[in-house]
Amino acid sequence: MGPEVHSAMVAIHNVLRWVVVLAALAAIIGSWHGVFTRREWTGGDRLRTVAYVASMHVQLLLGIILYANSPIVRVAFDDPGAAMGERGIRFFFVEHIFLMIIAVVVVQLGSILAKKADEPFRKHRRAAICFTLGLVLVFAGTPWFRPLFPGL
């Protein structure tokens, strides 16, 4: 992958981060609202869940492609010991991908557990807990030391 393609994919990955955050907030707010009001699980709840899970999966797929083609990761694989001593390199080599994979698993698990629950309250509670934890993991794994809106 050439540097231009890699830069374009990083830009898309950065924009999709905001899609994930918006989908997460919609799903989390809807789930917690369902917990507190004890309302039925609706088609809107399912749609918000699907949007959150799908955006996470797309972002993960793009992230894995970027990881496999990253010059930073390539440097880290050349000398893992030295890479672990450099915060910026270690972040993309280990921390970012690990936290994001765990976040996707937690959000997917929330979707599965909500779907399998037999009562609306349990659906909402399972989704709310897992979706909130997933977003916390996303925030923990976000490179806040980089521009939030690169290129602007």
Per-residue pLDDT tens for 77-92?
A: 999 999 899 988 999 9
Torsion angle of the four alpha carbons 30, 33, 35, 39, in this order, in degrees rounded to the nearest 10 = -90
**Comparing C-alpha atoms, which of 117, 133, 123, 140 is closest to residue 30?**
123
For residue 106, the 8-state DSSP code is H
Per-residue model confidence as pLDDT tens digits over 50-107? 999 999 999 999 999 999 999 889 999 999 999 899 988 999 999 999 999 999 999 9
| pLDDT score at 1 | 74
| pLDDT score at 44 | 96
Mean pLDDT value across residues 37-53:
97
> Is residue 151 predicted with pLDDT exceeding 60?
no
- Which pTM does this prediction carry? 0.90
